[in-house]
Structure 1
Amino acid sequence: MVGLERGTVELEPYDEGWARLYEEERERLKHVAGDRFLDFEHIGSTAIKGMPAKPIIDILAVVEDLDESRYLTPVLEECGFEYRPEEVEGRLFFAKGPRTNRTYYLSVTERGSDFYEEKIAFRDYLSQHPKAAERYASLKTRLAEKYPENRGQYTRKKGQFVQDVLDLAIDDSES
């Protein structure tokens, strides 16, 4: 089951079905955008086996040039994605589903961008380091209980942990 009201925080135990839902949506996106998307990645907590997560599937779509990819916005909107202008460097962001039941997040970015590298490094590090994943799951659970109606605060409070994991992931990749 996927879907969560915008701005709220509710974690679900890991669900093996999330990978299938990612694959199904990826196939829909390929059909709609053709070869304009070069690649896809399942990111976020729903991509990490065993990780509790907000039941929203995070998809990263890779494009050749982000500025030239803005023309995809109407195509994606026809498929139910809402463009959400944000101040996140290096990505275009879309949400699918009504605000009362967001089901998918789509981030469009260039391969090799800081946004791309950080999302992949974080996912891969937690997938390969069970103790760090356990600490993250525990932190997320505590924060979800404390901030169920304040996703911004929930996200901010995870910030230092996320940065620490990114630092470790970068150190690992350089050794």
Structure 2
Amino acid sequence: MVGLERGTVELEPYRKEWVDLYEEEAERLQNIANDWFLDFEHIGSTAIEGMLAKPIIDILAVVETLDETEDLISRLEDHKYEYRPEDVEGRLFFAKGPHTNRTYYLSVTERGSDFYEEKIAFRDYLRDHPEIAAQYSSLKKRLAETYPENREQYTAAKGDFIQDVLERAMNS
């Protein structure tokens, strides 16, 4: 099962079904906008075996260019993806599911962009270094207990750890 109320923090132990849910949704997305999407990646904690995670599947979709994406945005909105404009350079962000039960996050980016490279490097580093993944999981658990109703604070408090791992990942 996936889904979590917007703004809240609840973690669940890793579930193998998350991989299947990612694959099913990536296939759905390909059918919705196959003329846009070049590739998909399963990112975030649900993509790392053994990791505690919010039960929301994170998908990274690769496009040729982020220029002139109005048609893509409207097509995804027609299929229950809510476009959430934000200030993260190099990505378009969408959420699926009602505010009370977010099920998927979709980040659309260009292959080779900084956003793409960082997300893949971080995921792969944690997959390749289970001891670091365990530390991250432990940190997430402590922070989820501290900030169960404040995802912004929870996310901000992970920042130093994430930055440290990202620097190692990008330099390895």
Q: TM-score range by the shorter chain?
A: over 0.9
Question: Which whole-Å deviations, capped at 9, do the CAs of 1:140-171 have from their partners, x for residues lacking one?
Answer: 00000000000000000000000000111122
Counterpart in the other structure of 2:129: 129
Residue 171 (1) aligns with residue 171 (2): yes
Aligned residues: 172
Do 1:22 and 1:42's aligned partners in 2 also have CA atoms closer than 8 Å? yes
Counterpart in the other structure of 1:115: 115
SS in 2 for 1:42: strand
| Structure 2 alignment gaps of length 5 or more | none
SS in 2 for 1:5: coil
| Structure 1 alignment gaps of length 5 or more | none
State how far apart, in whole Å, the 2-side matches of 1:43 and 1:70 are: 24
Which is further off, 86-95 or 70-79? Answer: 70-79
Question: Which whole-Å deviations, capped at 9, do the CAs of 1:44-71 have from their partners, x for residues lacking one?
Answer: 0000001010000000000011122232
State how far apart, in whole Å, the 2-side matches of 1:138 and 1:33 are: 38
State how far apart, in whole Å, the 2-side matches of 1:115 and 1:152 are: 20
Counterpart in the other structure of 1:142: 142
Residue 8 (1) aligns with residue 5 (2): no
Residue 54 (1) aligns with residue 35 (2): no
Do 1:7 and 1:151's aligned partners in 2 also have CA atoms closer than 8 Å? yes
Question: Matched residues, percent identical?
Answer: 74
State how far apart, in whole Å, the 2-side matches of 1:98 and 1:131 are: 35
State how far apart, in whole Å, the 2-side matches of 1:67 and 1:100 are: 32
SS in 2 for 1:136: helix
Q: CA deviation at 1:78?
A: 1.0
Counterpart in the other structure of 1:18: 18
The runs of at least 4 consecutive aligned structure 1 residues that moved more than 6 Å come to none
SS in 1 for 2:89: coil
RMSD over aligned CA atoms reads: 0.7
State how far apart, in whole Å, the 2-side matches of 1:119 and 1:70 are: 24
Counterpart in the other structure of 2:85: 85
SS in 1 for 2:33: helix
State how far apart, in whole Å, the 2-side matches of 1:168 and 1:34 are: 35
Do 2:7 and 2:152's aligned partners in 1 also have CA atoms closer than 8 Å? yes
